[in-house]
C-alpha cells in the first residue's frame, strides 16, 4: 500500500472520529491533512474551556484516568487543542476514543485527582524517585 493510500485511509478514520466528536458539547474537531503535517493526517480537537469549565490539560487528565486510559498529544494544549495521531491508534479503538471524548465533554468522564501522574512514564519516574528517597 502506498503512503498516499495509507494516509487516505487514516484520514477517513479521523473523519469518522470527527463526526462523533463534533456532536459533543464544547468540542470542535478539525482534520489536518498529511500534506500540512508532513507525515500523517491528524485530528485536532479544540476544547471550549468557557463551555466545559476545564482546559485541555484537565480534559486530557480525565481521558487518561478512565478505563482504558486514552492519551492524546498535548503539544498544543496551551491553545486548548488536543491531537489524535492515527498511527498510534488501533482502528478498532476509533469509536471508543470518540465516545470517551464526548463523554468527558458531557461531564461523564472521570475527574482525575490533582496529584495523579500524567502518564505511565511520569508514574514510573515518580516511583523511582520515591524509592531513591527511601534508600537515602
DSSP designation for 29: E
Residue 134 has pLDDT above 90, yes or no: no
Least confident of 35-39, 97-101, 122-126: 122-126
Q: How many CB atoms lie within 10 A of CB 79?
A: 11
CATH class in words for 3-135: alpha beta
Say what the pLDDT of residue 96 is. Answer: 94
- Name the percent of the chain lying above pLDDT 90: 66
* Signed CA dihedral, 53, 58, 64, 66: sign only: negative
Q: What residues are paired with 131 via a beta bridge?
A: none
Say what the pLDDT of residue 57 is. Answer: 96
Say what the pLDDT of residue 68 is. Answer: 87
- Name the percent of the chain lying above pLDDT 70: 76
Q: How many CB atoms lie within 10 A of CB 109?
A: 21
Q: How many CB atoms lie within 10 A of CB 125?
A: 12
Residue 29 exposed, middle or buried by CB count within 10 Å (0-12, 13-18, 19+): buried
- How does 43-61 read in b/e, with b if 16+ C-beta sit within 10 Å? bbbbbeeeebebebbbbbb
**132 pLDDT band (50/70/90 cuts)?**
low
Task: List pLDDT tens digits, range 58-114.
Answer: 999 999 999 889 999 999 999 999 999 998 889 999 999 999 999 999 988 665 445
Please compute the mean of the pLDDT values over residues 107-134 and round it to a whole number.
Answer: 52
Instruction: Please tell me whether the peptide bond between 106 and the residue prior to it is cis, using omega within 30 degrees of 0.
Output: no
Please compute the mean of the pLDDT values over residues 25-46 and round it to a whole number.
Answer: 95
Amino acid at each position: 500500500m502506498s503512503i498516499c493510500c495509507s494516509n487516505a485511509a487514516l484520514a477517513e478514520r479521523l473523519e469518522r472520529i470527527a463526526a462523533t466528536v463534533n456532536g459533543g458539547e464544547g468540542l470542535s474537531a478539525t482534520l489536518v491533512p498529511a500534506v500540512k503535517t508532513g507525515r500523517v493526517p491528524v485530528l485536532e480537537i479544540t476544547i471550549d474551556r468557557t463551555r466545559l469549565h476545564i482546559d485541555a490539560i484537565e480534559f486530557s487528565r480525565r481521558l487518561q484516568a478512565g478505563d482504558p486510559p486514552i492519551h492524546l498529544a498535548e503539544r498544543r494544549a496551551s491553545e486548548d487543542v488536543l491531537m489524535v495521531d492515527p498511527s498510534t491508534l488501533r482502528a478498532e479503538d476509533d469509536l471508543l476514543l470518540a465516545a470517551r471524548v464526548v463523554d468527558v465533554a458531557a461531564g461523564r468522564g472521570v475527574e482525575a485527582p490533582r496529584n495523579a501522574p500524567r502518564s505511565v512514564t511520569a508514574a514510573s519516574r515518580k516511583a523511582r524517585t520515591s524509592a531513591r528517597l527511601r534508600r537515602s
